Amino acid sequence: MNDIFKQTHKNNIPTVVTAFDTQNEEGNIENINLIESWQQVNKQVAQACAQAPRQHNAVTLLAVSKTKPAEMIVTLARQGQRDFGENYLQEALEKIQVLREQPECKPIIWHYIGSIQRNKTRDIAENFDWVQTLEREIIAKRLNEQRPAELPPLNVLIQVNIDNEDSKSGCLPAELPALISAIKHYERLQLRGLMIIPAKANTDAFARTKQLFEDIKIEHPELPQWDTLSMGMSGDMGEAIANGSTMVRVGTAIFGARA
């Protein structure tokens, strides 16, 4: 396990011990910078909602914590951040394992936002609250079958390759009807909406995705929780919110550039 995770064992349960357990959190300069960056992003989200205009709580901030140490997640959880996104499964599982026993981390909602391979579906189904990168029926079928009965249904978003880029994952818009028709019958999955990563040069991708989202809502009134449109990141979240995003995925603007 990565050296950032220092563990003690109490009743054979690993618990994370961080620098923040032994010193004043507010006195740590890196920690202060992290909190200030997070507060600034929250302010930007609120400003974008006001300009739209939309209710200030209409947009969820997903803190993308991939490659970042568990200590940073603990810090933001203490500030009230609840939704965290992870791309790399093994790294995410290590973080979830060591943080789940921390009182301030119990309310965390974990989102898987990386690519999904067949041999990874069980770990994803057992450990995450949301999956934002569903693009194939076979993966949906496996997630449904492997979601533990004692957990609530797994919230899922369909990733759409809105600009038909060879370098991007996601189903094409024309493939959505068949995929939705399959997923909506899986009792252990809760289909919530769409996720996109648009081409940088395509300025109308957000508007087209919003229209697609609304068309599906009309065509499928049997989806009562069709309510989530995940689009927008550090560099374009304002434009995404203006076009109806309900969740922005922000990493760099909160945590800084990845090493």
Please tell me the predicted confidence (pLDDT) of residue 203: 75
Is 114 contained in some domain? yes
- For 84, phi then psi, to 5°, come to -130, 140
Please tell me the predicted confidence (pLDDT) of residue 200: 87
Exposure letters 206-215 (e unless 16+ CB within 10 A, then b): bebbbebbee
Split at pLDDT 50, 70, 90, the class of 7 is very low
The encoded tokens of residue 128 equal: 């995450």
Please tell me the predicted confidence (pLDDT) of residue 21: 45
The encoded tokens of residue 74 equal: 């603990």
Exposure letters 24-61 (e unless 16+ CB within 10 A, then b): ebeebeebeebbebbeebbebbeebbeebebeeeebbb
Is 199 contained in some domain? yes
- The domain that holds 46 is classified in CATH as 3.20.20.10
Is 106 contained in some domain? yes
Tens of pLDDT, residues 236-252: 999 999 999 999 999 99
Which domain range does residue 52 map to? 6-255
The total number of structural domains in the chain stands at: 1
Is 36 contained in some domain? yes
Judged by average pLDDT, the poorest of 7-11, 42-46, 102-106, 214-218 is 7-11
Residue 4 has pLDDT above 60, yes or no: no
SS3 assignment for the chain: CCCCCEEEEECCEEEEECHHHCCCHHHCHHHHHHHHHHHHHHHHHHHHHHHCCCCCCCCEEEEECCCCCHHHHHHHHHHCCCEEEECCHHHHHHHHHHHCCCHHHCCCEEEECCCCCHHHHHHHHHHCCEEEEECCHHHHHHHHHHCCCCCCCEEEEEEECCCCCCCCCCECHHHHHHHHHHHCCCCCEEEEEEEECCCCCCCCHHHHHHHHHHHHHHHCCCCCCCCEEECCCCCCHHHHHHCCCCEEEECHHHHCCCC
The encoded tokens of residue 105 equal: 């981390």
Q: Which residue has the tokens 């797994």?
A: 154
Please tell me the predicted confidence (pLDDT) of residue 12: 35
Listed residue (68, 44, 74, 73) closest to 240, CA to CA: 44
Q: Is 244 left (phi over 0), alpha (psi -120 to 50) or beta?
A: left
Tens of pLDDT, residues 24-81: 554 488 899 999 999 999 999 999 999 999 998 999 999 999 999 999 999 999 999 9
Which of 28 and 157 is assigned the larger pLDDT? 157
- Give Cβ neighbours of residue 151 (< 8 Å, ≥ 6 apart): 126
Please tell me the predicted confidence (pLDDT) of residue 8: 36
Split at pLDDT 50, 70, 90, the class of 232 is very high
Is 1 contained in some domain? no
Split at pLDDT 50, 70, 90, the class of 9 is very low
Split at pLDDT 50, 70, 90, the class of 259 is low
Tell me what the pLDDT averaged over the chain comes to: 90
Please tell me the predicted confidence (pLDDT) of residue 5: 38
Is 113 contained in some domain? yes
